[in-house]
Structure 1
Amino acid sequence: MFDMALLIPLAPFIMVAFIVWSKHQKSLEEKRIEATASQTAEQAAQYASRVTQLEDRVRVLERIVTDKGYDVATQIEALRDERRVDEAGSGVPLDALNKERV
Structure 2
Amino acid sequence: MTHQFDEAARSGVLGHMNGDHGDDNLLIARAFGRDDVVAARMTGFDGDGGTWVATLPDGGELDVRAAWPGGAISERPEVRREIVALYDEACRVLGVVPRPHA
TM-score normalised over the length of structure 2: 0.22
Per residue, is there more helix in 1 or in 2? 1
Per residue, is there more strand in 1 or in 2? 2
Q: Whose Rg is larger? A: 1
RCO (CA 8 Å, sep 6+): is it higher in 1 or 2?
2
